[in-house]
């Protein structure tokens, strides 16, 4: 029987398990990427594995998130990352070189390969035909050490693209349409595989915009075929020899199929505060706009910025609007500079930002109070921009540029100008001088450790029983930005005790202190949540810092994939209500006991929670493999790996 693309890549990388949807399998990882915000912890954990060198075909350490450098912390972290990379044979992408996903696509992405990245937007690599997955830093550390990556063998949805995008309608609108159809929850365990005649009409960076924001649907990854267009992109990057064709077999089967006619899509926007709140741009027309931010790993490619520059050329930013542009990579900056487009953007009044995450992670460019901010990025969770009252809309560069000119939401098709259709270059400007390529691992390198860098905290094995309290109760769609804010707090990523002071900061600022006091009195902390807990970022700190504060379990109606894996890696039990209605029978502050939790987990037996305050018993379930149960029993992956070989 024929295979789809997902099966082709996964089956050729399978090291354990049966390729049956819904079962846990282990795959070999060819490439890894880390970024600095998750990377310091990932490399501290890699160091703890005690190996001499990375074992992958290629591992790259990018510095793109924490480039603000207010205080010594970020700069110290960069030095730590640079020295660790030299010691273990990892390619180091220096600050200024660009955003990990954009740069990886340009310089390292290869069709048919597996990529594991400590960032949830790693699926950007699916645009070039990779099976690219986001994970917590610890999983990436294990993969760098040659250990396999464990995942649930996915169900595959074929997205049959037909037709062609009309002028002013973009790849961003395609993925927003997908989010409208599939929403941001309920897609755990799925992979989106794109196919059909519409694929050939999309360039590789456009495909990457689509796979990038698949992360917002909660799918494991998204993947495009590798075709002539892929080859053209690789040739233009002087990597033509790395191209291989990769297509689904004609008789391949899928768990679901949908058809999307590209010619029917119109300019769309994700309204506050979720990438799934999709509306037409036309329905927002006339709304005054105060800020426009163009960039991020979703929309900062050569084509995105050239198109923006062509729209703005000879015109000027509306007096109400502040426009900032963050090109995705140094290559993009070089290309738009040489084409004269950078000058056009600056003439138009753009504020040029560093090639980094910047505004997207909320560490700069926070909008004014109550402002409407149009961003080409991928997440508009409340407060992520740094301004809680801001109204952030996610749009295409075309829609963003239209608002720059008019000062209000404008369907770009209503601009009085022809669509500036930008062609892909035959040759990109290649300059790899901001990478440091180690010839080989060098054990003599002394790793630099500034005062911001602490060892990952230790956890005890799971106790015999959980006896504690509901320390916080939250609702549906709690993101890792709610649990562990980034933005101004990002610089504490390497200092867990300090960073832990900000757990749930925007939801309940007293949580951290309350949890720490409980922990110090021997009371276990339990988090109660609704649907789709842990959406968004791969940041393992959203599990690591709660672990440090003595959280032993999260009880939710449902969980997202990466966060579940992170909870398990740090020894926190992800538990489900057997009956979702029982969510109402647990209140914040309730005392609870989960008796014999250790023995029952060891035997894969059902659990019961006794709510002492309300005097009721609530049945709980969990879906954990033997391996996952053993990790939790050990108190997390580092303890587990200490007693077994790393990740085996």
Least distance to ligand MIC, CB of residue 363, Å: 10
Least distance to ligand MIC, CB of residue 545, Å: 12
| Contact positions vs ligand SF4 (CB under 6 A) | 65, 99, 119, 121, 296-297, 357, 360-361, 377-378
Residue choice 24, 73, 106, 119 for contact with ligand MIC (CB under 6 A): 119
Based on the shown chain and the rule CB under 6 A, indicate whether residue 121 belongs to the binding site for ligand MIC.
yes
Based on the shown chain and the rule CB under 6 A, indicate whether residue 222 belongs to the binding site for ligand MIC.
no
**Which residue, 486 or 609, is less far from ligand MIC as judged by CB?**
486
Q: Indicate the SS3 state at residue 593.
A: strand
Q: Of ligand SF4, ligand MIC, none, which one does residue 231 interact with (CB within 5 to 8 Å by kind)?
A: none
Based on the shown chain and the rule CB under 6 A, indicate whether residue 363 belongs to the binding site for ligand MIC.
no
Q: Of ligand MIC, ligand SF4, none, which one does residue 377 interact with (CB within 5 to 8 Å by kind)?
A: ligand SF4
Least distance to ligand SF4, CB of residue 499, Å: 17
**Which residue, 100 or 515, is less far from ligand SF4 as judged by CB?**
100
**Which residue, 493 or 519, is less far from ligand MIC as judged by CB?**
493
Q: Of ligand MIC, ligand SF4, none, which one does residue 38 interact with (CB within 5 to 8 Å by kind)?
A: ligand MIC
Q: Could you tell me the two tokens for 633?
A: 């029993």
Contact of 224 with 127, CB cutoff 8 Å: yes
DSSP 366-421: PPPTT-EEEESSS---TTTTS-TT-EEEE--HHHHHHHHHHSB---GGGSSS----
Q: Of ligand SF4, ligand MIC, none, which one does residue 136 interact with (CB within 5 to 8 Å by kind)?
A: none
Sorted by sequence, the CB contacts under 8 Å of residue 460 that are 6+ apart come out as: 635
> How many degrees, rounded to 5, is the angle at CA 423 between CA 418 and CA 427?
155
Q: How far is CA 486 from the centre of its chain?
A: 13
Binding mask 28-57 toward ligand MIC (x if CB under 6 A, else -) reads ---------xx-------------------
Sorted by sequence, the CB contacts under 8 Å of residue 247 that are 6+ apart come out as: 5, 195, 225, 226, 227
CA distance linking residue 53 with residue 56, whole number of Å: 9
Least distance to ligand SF4, CB of residue 297, Å: 3
Least distance to ligand SF4, CB of residue 324, Å: 13
Three-state helix/strand/coil letters over 518-587:
HHHCCCEEEEECCCCECECCCCCHHHHHHHHCCEEEEEECCECHHHHHHHHHCCCEEEEECCHHHHHHCC
Least distance to ligand SF4, CB of residue 296, Å: 4
Q: Of ligand MIC, ligand SF4, none, which one does residue 539 interact with (CB within 5 to 8 Å by kind)?
A: ligand MIC
Least distance to ligand MIC, CB of residue 477, Å: 15
Q: Of ligand MIC, ligand SF4, none, which one does residue 538 interact with (CB within 5 to 8 Å by kind)?
A: ligand MIC
Least distance to ligand SF4, CB of residue 378, Å: 5
DSSP 441-462: --TTPPPP--TT--PPPP-PPP
Where are the alpha helices (H) located in 58-188, listed in sequence order? 73-88, 100-107, 137-144, 171-182
Based on the shown chain and the rule CB under 6 A, indicate whether residue 120 belongs to the binding site for ligand MIC.
yes
Residue choice 40, 114, 406, 537 for contact with ligand MIC (CB under 6 A): 537
End-to-end CA distance of the chain: 31
**Which residue, 110 or 539, is less far from ligand MIC as judged by CB?**
539
Q: Of ligand SF4, ligand MIC, none, which one does residue 363 interact with (CB within 5 to 8 Å by kind)?
A: none
Q: Of ligand MIC, ligand SF4, none, which one does residue 273 interact with (CB within 5 to 8 Å by kind)?
A: none
Where are the alpha helices (H) located in 120-249, listed in sequence order? 137-144, 171-182, 204-212, 228-236
Q: What is the DSSP letter of 98?
A: B
**Which residue, 38 or 61, is less far from ligand MIC as judged by CB?**
38
The b-or-e profile of 517-547 (16+ CB within 10 A means b, else e) is ebbeeebbbbbbbbbbbbbbbbbbbbbbbbb
Least distance to ligand MIC, CB of residue 269, Å: 19
| Residue indicated by tokens 């490619």 | 301
Residue choice 99, 151, 361, 500 for contact with ligand MIC (CB under 6 A): 361
Based on the shown chain and the rule CB under 6 A, indicate whether residue 63 belongs to the binding site for ligand MIC.
no
Tell me the CB-side half-sphere exposure of residue 348, using CA atoms within 13 A.
Answer: 28
615, with CB counted inside 10 A (0-12, 13-18, 19+), is exposed
With CA atoms as reference, report the closest residue to 557 among 187, 214, 186. 186
Q: What is the DSSP letter of 248?
A: -
**Which residue, 87 or 121, is less far from ligand MIC as judged by CB?**
121
Sorted by sequence, the CB contacts under 8 Å of residue 202 that are 6+ apart come out as: 161, 165, 171, 210, 224, 229
Part in contact with ligand MIC (CB under 6 A); list of ranges 230-238, 320-328, 500-508, 531-539: 531-539
CA distance linking residue 330 with residue 354, whole number of Å: 9
Least distance to ligand MIC, CB of residue 479, Å: 9
Based on the shown chain and the rule CB under 6 A, indicate whether residue 557 belongs to the binding site for ligand MIC.
no
Q: Of ligand MIC, ligand SF4, none, which one does residue 296 interact with (CB within 5 to 8 Å by kind)?
A: ligand SF4
Residue choice 538, 558, 564, 628 for contact with ligand MIC (CB under 6 A): 538
Part in contact with ligand MIC (CB under 6 A); list of ranges 50-58, 117-125, 180-188, 461-469: 117-125
Q: Of ligand MIC, ligand SF4, none, which one does residue 110 interact with (CB within 5 to 8 Å by kind)?
A: none
Based on the shown chain and the rule CB under 6 A, indicate whether residue 539 belongs to the binding site for ligand MIC.
yes
Q: Indicate the SS3 state at residue 302.
A: helix
Where are the alpha helices (H) located in 25-64, listed in sequence order? 36-48
Least distance to ligand MIC, CB of residue 24, Å: 22
Least distance to ligand SF4, CB of residue 68, Å: 13
Part in contact with ligand MIC (CB under 6 A); list of ranges 11-19, 115-123, 342-350, 502-510: 115-123
Residue choice 65, 113, 155, 524 for contact with ligand MIC (CB under 6 A): 65
Residues binding ligand MIC: what is the number (CB under 6 A)? 13
Contact of 145 with 179, CB cutoff 8 Å: no
591-594 and 466-473: which strand pairing? antiparallel
Interface positions with ligand MIC (CB under 6 A)? 37-38, 65, 119-121, 134, 361, 486, 536-539
């Amino acid at each position: 029987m024929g295979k789809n693309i997902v099966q082709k890549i996964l089956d050729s990388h399978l090291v354990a398990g049966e390729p049956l949807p819904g079962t846990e399998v282990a795959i070999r990882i060819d490439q890894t990427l880390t970024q600095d915000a998750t990377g310091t912890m990932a490399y501290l954990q890699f160091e703890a594995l005690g190996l001499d060198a990375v074992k992958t075909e290629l591992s790259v350490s990018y510095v793109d998130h924490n480039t603000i450098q207010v205080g010594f912390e970020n700069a110290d972290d960069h030095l730590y990352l640079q020295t660790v990379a030299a010691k273990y044979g990892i390619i180091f992408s220096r600050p200024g070189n660009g955003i990990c996903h954009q740069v990886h696509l340009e310089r390292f992405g290869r069709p048919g390969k597996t990529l594991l990245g400590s960032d949830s937007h790693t699926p950007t690599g699916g645009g070039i035909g990779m099976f690219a997955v986001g994970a917590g830093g610890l999983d990436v550390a294990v993969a760098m050490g040659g250990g396999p990556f464990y995942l649930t063998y996915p169900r595959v949805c074929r997205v049959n693209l037909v037709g062609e995008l009309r002028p002013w309608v973009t790849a961003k609108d395609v993925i927003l349409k997908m989010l409208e159809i599939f929403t941001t929850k309920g897609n755990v365990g799925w992979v989106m595989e794109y196919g059909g005649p519409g694929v050939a009409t999309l360039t590789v960076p456009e495909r990457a915009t689509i796979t990038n924001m698949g992360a917002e649907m909660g799918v494991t990854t998204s993947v495009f075929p590798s075709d002539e267009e892929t080859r053209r992109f690789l040739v233009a990057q002087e990597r033509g020899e790395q191209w291989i064709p990769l297509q689904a077999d004609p008789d391949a089967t899928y768990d679901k199929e949908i058809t999307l006619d590209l010619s029917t899509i119109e300019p769309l926007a994700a309204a506050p505060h979720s990438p799934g709140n999709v509306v037409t741009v036309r329905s927002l027309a006339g709304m005054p706009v105060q800020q426009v931010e163009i960039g991020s790993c979703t929309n900062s490619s050569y084509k995105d910025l050239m198109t923006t520059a062509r729209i703005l050329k000879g015109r000027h930013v509306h007096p109400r609007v502040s426009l900032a542009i963050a090109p995705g990579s140094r290559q993009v900056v070089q290309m738009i500079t040489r084409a004269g487009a950078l000058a056009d953007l600056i003439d138009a009044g753009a504020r040029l930002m560093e090639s980094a995450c910047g505004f997207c992670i909320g560490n700069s460019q926070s909008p004014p109070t109550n402002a409407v901010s149009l961003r080409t990025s991928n997440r508009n969770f409340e407060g992520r921009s740094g301004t809680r009252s801001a109204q952030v809309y996610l749009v295409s560069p075309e829609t963003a540029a239209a608002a720059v000119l008019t000062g209000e939401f404008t369907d770009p098709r209503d601009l009085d100008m022809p669509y500036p259709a930008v062609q892909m270059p035959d040759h990109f400007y290649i300059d790899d001088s901001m990478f440091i390529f180690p010839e080989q691992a060098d054990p003599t390198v002394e790793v630099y450790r500034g005062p911001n860098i602490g060892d990952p905290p230790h956890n005890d094995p799971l106790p015999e029983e959980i006896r504690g309290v509901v320390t916080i109760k939250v609702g549906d769609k709690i993101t890792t930005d709610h649990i562990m804010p980034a933005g101004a707090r990002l610089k504490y990523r390497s200092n867990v005790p300090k960073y832990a002071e900000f757990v749930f900061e925007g939801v309940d600022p007293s949580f951290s202190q309350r949890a720490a006091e409980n922990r110090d009195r021997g009371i276990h902390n339990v988090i109660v949540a609704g649907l789709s807990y842990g959406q968004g970022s791969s940041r393992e700190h959203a599990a690591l810092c709660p672990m440090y504060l003595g959280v032993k379990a999260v009880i939710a109606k449902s969980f997202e994939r990466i966060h579940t894996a992170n909870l398990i890696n740090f020894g926190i039990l992800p538990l489900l209500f057997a009956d979702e209605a029982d969510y109402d029978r647990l209140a914040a502050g309730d005392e609870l006991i989960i008796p014999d939790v250790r023995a029952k987990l060891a035997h894969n037996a059902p659990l019961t929670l006794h709510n002492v305050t309300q005097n009721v018993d609530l049945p709980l379930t969990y879906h954990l493999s033997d391996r996952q149960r053993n990790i939790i029993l050990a108190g997390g992956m580092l303890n587990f790996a200490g007693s077994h070989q790393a990740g085996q």
